[in-house]
Chain A
Amino acid sequence: MRVISIAQDSPDIAGCEEDSGIVRKVNLPLARREFLKGSGLLLGTLASGSMLATLAPSTAWALELKKLSTTEGQTLMAMGRTLYPHKKLPDAVYALLAKDLDGKAAGDAGAAKMLQDGIAWLNKSAGGDFAKASEKQREDIVRSMEGTAFFGTVRGQCITSLYDNDMAYAVFGYPGSAWEKGGYITRGFQDLKWLPEPSKEASPPPFLG
C-alpha cells in the first residue's frame, strides 16, 4: 500500500500551538490517482474549516486498497467507528484502520479470509450494509462478535491505527515529541492555575541557570 502525499515537498505546516496541542505535520492518507492499480479505493474530504483542514495540504484524501474491495474497506471503517466512536476524528483516520488491515490481508491469505468472512458477517447481520445500519444496530452486531479472532484483530489494530498518527494527536491535544522544542521547562509544564499552588518545599522552583 502506497500512501503518498499529493502535495509533494509540502513545507512543515504551522508551528506548534501548545494549548491546542496541534502538531506540525499531518500525514493524511493521500494516494496519487494516476498510479492506482489496487482492488479498492477509499475517498473522502476533511470538513473545511475544521482544525485538521487548516493543517492539511488538501482537504481531499484518497486511499488505495490492495486486497479488499471498496465496500469491504468502508465496512471496516464503520466497525472502527463503532468500536471507538470519536465525533472529532475524521473518516481519514478510520481509513488508516482499513489501510492497515488491508495490508495484513494482502500479505497473508489466512488473514484475508478471516477478515473477509468477518466483514461479510457484519454486512449479513445488518441486512446488507453494515455501514448504513443504525448506531445501535452496529454496536449490537459488533458486541455479538466479541471473542472471535476477527473482532480481536480489528479491535487490536484500532489501537495503533486510530491513536498513533498525527491527526489523532491533533484531535486529542497531544503534541508528541518534545525534544526538538526544548521540552516543557520553559513551555508551560507548571501552567495549571485552577488549583492551589504547592509549597516550595513540596515543589521547589525550577533551575534555570
Chain B
Amino acid sequence: MAKFDFSDDSVVVVIGSGAGGGTLANELCQKGIKVVVLEAGATQSSASFINDEWKSFVQLAWLDTRTTSGSWRVAKDFAGLPSWICKTVGGTTTHWAGASLRFQEHEFRVKSVYGDVPGANLLDWPITLKDLEPYYAKAEYKMGVTRTNGIPGLPGNNNFKVMHAGATKLGYKEVHTGNMAINSQPRDGRGRCMQLGFCFQGCKSGAKWSTLYTEIPKAEATGNFEIRPQSHVTRIEHNASGKVTGVVYFDKDGKEQRQKARIICVAGNSIETPRLLLLSASSMFKDGLANSSGQVGRNYMRHMTGSVYAAFKNPVHMYKGTTMAGIIRDEAGHNPNRGFVGGYEMETLSLGVPFMAAFLNPGGWGADFAWWMDHYTNLAGMWLVGEDMPRENNRVTLNTNVKDQWGNYVPNVHFDDHPNDIAMRNHAFTQGERVYQAAGAIKTFRTPPYPSTHNMGTSRMSARAQDGVVNKWGQTHDIPNLFISDGSQFTTGGAENPTLTIVTLAIRQADYIAQQMTERAI
C-alpha cells in the first residue's frame, strides 16, 4: 500500500470505503490517480466476521450517537438507531444482502411521470436510464451479478420455495432467485455461496461482493492507494476562493490530523455525508458546504419498508441459506390504480432467533408474541421495499443539544411517512400476506420497518443549482472540487435496493473526475 504525506495536495481524498467510496477509490487508482481513503471504522475480514447476530452487530454497525424525530415508527422503536448501516472498512457492503437491481426507466423522471404529489418534493434526475446503462453493465460485471454476464442465478432455499409457491399460485409472473452480487459459481478469485444464512453479518465465504475484499485490495495493488481505517473526518476545509483544500480527522489514536487534497469525495452514507457538510460551515459558507440551495440534509429517503412473516403447519427453516433468496417483481412498476405512485419489490428475508425477538414486533410481549417465537422453525419471511416520497422536512440536521465522542453535534434524523408511503405499505402488506396464504399459511404477521438500511437523497442531484446539491456527475454545484459519491446523490429513490446504482454512479463519476483532472478543470 502506498503512503502519502499529510501535506500532499495532489491526492484525491475519499471519505468512506463502502459501495460509493470503495468503488470510486479503486476506479480512480486504476486510472493512475493517487487516492487516500479515510474510513471511520476498523478493518475486519471474512475470517473475523461472526455468525452471531448481536456480536456481529456490535462488530460492524455504526453505533455512534444519533437522535430521531418525526412520526415514523422507527423513532419510537429504535430512537437512537435510525439506521442499520456499518462503521467498518467496506462500509455497509459488509452487511448488505446483495440484491442488485437496475432502476426502471421512469424512476429517473418521476416528477414528469407521477405529476404533482402534494407534500412531496419530487424532481426528475438530470440523467436518464440510457445515460447509466453502460455503467450499470460495468457495475454488474464488476460485482458478478447473477442473471447478468452469463452468470447463473443462485439456487433457491426453503424460504424462496414458500415465496415462489405462493406467488405463482397468486398469478405473479416475475418470481426468481433475484439478481444478486453473490457468486453462484466461483468467480473473480472468490468462491461460490455456501448458503451460510449470515449475509447480514459479513460474508464469511467471501461469495458476496463487498468492497472490503474486491475494490480495496485491487486499489492497493496499483500502488496509488492508501486507506487509513479508524479515521473519523470531522471537517472539510476550504480556501478564500471557496475551493476545498483538505480535511481534519481523528486518527486511530484519537489524534487530530489534517490531510491536504486536490479533490474531496464524500461517501459517508446519507446521514454522515450531509452531517459533515453541515459541520464544515464557515464564515464563507454559513449554512454548511455546498448548501446554497438549502437542500443539504433534506429529502432524506429510506424506502417504504415493512416485512411479512407467516407460520405454516410444516417446517421451513428459513435461516438456511442466503438471506435474500428470491424476489417478486410484479408490483415494482408504476400503476396508480393501486392507490399510490411508484412501486415496490418483495424479497425474501430471514432473521435468526435473537433478531426475530428484537425486530418481529418491537415492544411487543405476551402470549401472541411468544406464539410466533414458538413457531420459529415453521416461519417464512419477506421484506417489502418500495419507492418513498422525498420531502423537504424529512431531513438530517445537527442536534445542537447532543455531542458525540469528538465533541461534534450528532445528526438528528427526522422522518414523517408520506401518505403515499403509507398507502404503498398497506398494499404491500396485503399482497405479502396473500402470497403466504396462497402457500397455505396458518397465520401471517405485519412487521413494522427495521432501522433504515437504504438511506438516500440528502445531497441530491439536480439540473439546476437551486434544486439540489450536486450536478449530474455528483459534483457539488457550489464547489467544483467537492464531490458526493454515495446514495446521498439520489434525486429520488426508485423501488430497487440502492447499492447497484451507487456503484454505477461511482464508476461514472471516476471517469468524469479523471477527465476533469486531465483537462486541469479541477
Interface residues of A (CB under 8 A from B): 19, 21, 83-86, 88, 139, 155, 158-160, 162-164, 168-169, 172-179, 182-185, 187-192, 194-198, 201-207
Contacts and interface: CB of A to CB of B under 8 A. Distances in A.
A188 B156 contact: no
27 contacts: A83-B365, A83-B366, A84-B373, A86-B373, A155-B363, A158-B365, A159-B357, A159-B358, A162-B357, A163-B353, A164-B54, A172-B353, A173-B377, A176-B51, A178-B51, A178-B197, A178-B198, A179-B198, A184-B195, A189-B157, A190-B156, A190-B158, A192-B315, A198-B161, A201-B176, A203-B156, A205-B155
B185 A207 contact: yes
Contacts of A184: 157, 194-197, 320-321
Interface string B183-219: 0111000001111111000001100000000000000
Given A190-B321, A201-B176, A202-B164, 6 more contacts: A84-B373, A85-B370, A174-B352, A184-B321, A198-B160, A198-B164
B177 A202 contact: yes
Contacts, number: 160
A203 B326 contact: yes
A165 B169 CA distance: 39
B509 to A, nearest CB: 34
B160 A203 contact: yes
A160 B53 CA distance: 11
B369 A202 contact: no
A74 to B, nearest CB: 20
B373 A172 contact: yes
A183 B374 contact: no
Contacts of A88: 374
B424 interface: no
B261 interface: no
Given A163-B354, A202-B164, A189 B376 contact: no
Interface centre among A175, A184, A189 (most CB of B within 10 A): A189
B153 interface: yes
Contacts of A162: 357
B162 interface: yes
Contacts of B326: 202-203
A183 B376 contact: no
B352 A207 contact: no
Contacts of B354: 160, 163-164
Nearest to A146: B365
A86 B370 contact: yes
Contacts of B132: none
A190 B160 CA distance: 9
B513 interface: no
B31 to A, nearest CB: 34
Nearest to B46: A179
A190 B184 CA distance: 15
Given A160-B54, A198-B160, A203 B153 contact: yes
A126 B65 CA distance: 40
B152 interface: yes
B209 to A, nearest CB: 17
4 residue pairs, one from A and one from B, having the closest CB atoms: A183-B194, A203-B156, A177-B51, A163-B357
B503 interface: no
B353 A174 contact: yes
Contacts of A195: 161-162, 165, 439-440
B314 interface: yes
A204 B153 contact: yes
B158 A174 contact: no
A147 to B, nearest CB: 11
B193 A84 contact: no
A101 B195 CA distance: 37
B248 to A, nearest CB: 36
Nearest to B354: A164
Given A197-B161, A198-B160, A202-B177, A178 B196 contact: yes
B155 A21 contact: no
A172 B376 contact: yes
A185 B194 CA distance: 5
Nearest to B196: A183
Interface in B361-410: 363, 365-367, 369-370, 373-374, 376-377
A6 to B, nearest CB: 25
A164 B359 CA distance: 13
